[in-house]
Amino acid sequence: MTRFIRVRFLIFIVVLTCALEAHRVSAQEAPKSPAVEKKDEFQQAMEGGRAFARQGRIDDAINEFRRAAKLRDDKCAECFQIIGQIYLQFGKLKEAAAAFRQCVELKPSNEAEIYNILGVALYMQKEKASYDEAATALKRAIELSKGKLPKAYYNLGYALIRAGKEQEGIDALKKFLELFPGASEASQARAVIANTKMVDARVAPFFAVKSHTGEDLSLEKLRGKIVLLDFWASWCIPCRIDIPEVRKIWKKYGGDQFVIVGINLDSNRPAFEAYMKEEAITWPQYYDGRGWGNKVSQLYGVYAIPHTVLIDQDGVIQATGLKGEELSEKIAGVLKKLQK
């Protein structure tokens, strides 16, 4: 139950108690209308489902949301949307698609967004028939939003290319870039337009910034090299533990074909620079003083540190989150392919 609903409910109880006292009728004897009982039961089911979801009790959560839907004669679009989102999060793609279909049948106010996420669930099934169905759902999302849902064009581009309709897919991606040129997916879209085989690749989001010492740092400038983005902060204890391992990697591989770019999430520049000096960190660093709002960390969706992103010479992400020996071995493998 939300805070707003809880406050209203408490006010209702106070008023009701006063009224019952005035009429000398106990709360136990006061009749409840079936409509109120059903509404309360629906809210309890919804809140119970959310609580189970937070606890990771997925089956129990879905059962509660389905119970809530039944209490509304299976006309609860929100219930089916949440069920679909839970299934999608846990990789149950067919179940997710089924729930989203039930949702759109009820014509919710966010129908365009639901068709878009239905398209994603179908695309992720990686089946020929599902690509065609995904494209149909995504075209419906675009139609309903009157073209004001840019990411539907991005998703449609991928679905069409997967379905063997490459030129249509390229056109959809170009429309996405026209509507949303600054999107974090823009680099990926441009790469796929240039070469549709890149549809299977995770292209690193493009950035162009200045290092903490004023030099240009950009993926375009580093193209042709293996790049390791290392997200860290001086106040982060796990990062401090990890820095010696990063230094070993720099010492072992640093050179013409490999570079580390540190992405620092400190908001205190003196603390950042003091730690750099203390640990003799010599590889390039990007620091903007925004802490968790760091421009590059936001672009890459980094919300926990330390974190690494390994990017190959073509700008394709080869690994994320690796550390220590596992990271070192992965770098060696990527470099070996580059040297062939």
259 contacts 284 by C-beta, under 8 angstroms: yes
174 contacts 133 by C-beta, under 8 angstroms: no
Those residues whose C-beta lies under 8 Å from the C-beta of residue 227, and which sit 6 or more positions away, are 204, 219, 258, 259, 260, 261, 310, 311
**H-helix or E-strand spanning residue 262:** strand 258-264
The torsion angle over the Cα atoms of residues 195, 201, 207 and 211, rounded to 10 degrees, is -130
Q: CA-CA distance, 54 to 44, in Å (whole number)? A: 15
Q: What are phi and psi of 233, to 5 degrees?
A: -155, 150
Q: Please list the pLDDT of the chain residue by residue as tens digits (340 residues).
A: 232 222 222 222 233 223 323 333 333 333 444 444 455 999 999 999 999 998 989 999 999 999 999 999 999 999 999 999 999 988 999 999 999 999 999 999 999 999 999 999 999 999 989 999 999 999 999 999 998 999 999 999 999 999 999 999 999 999 999 999 988 788 889 999 999 988 988 889 889 999 999 999 998 899 899 999 999 999 999 999 999 999 999 999 998 899 999 999 999 999 999 999 999 999 999 999 999 999 999 989 898 999 999 999 989 999 999 999 999 999 999 999 887 6
Residue 39: what pLDDT? 55
3-state secondary structure of 81: helix
User: How many CB atoms lie under 10 A from the CB of residue 293?
Assistant: 11
84 contacts 103 by C-beta, under 8 angstroms: yes
Residue 203: what pLDDT? 87
Q: CA-CA distance, 267 to 300, in Å (whole number)? A: 19
Tally: H helices and E strands in the chain: 15, 7
Residue 257: what pLDDT? 94
The 3-state secondary structure of 319-332 reads EECCCHHHHHHHHH
Tokens of 151: 């990411």
**pTM confidence score:** 0.66
Q: CA-CA distance, 108 to 332, in Å (whole number)? A: 51
Contacts 24+ apart (CB under 8 A), 100-103: 102/74, 103/77
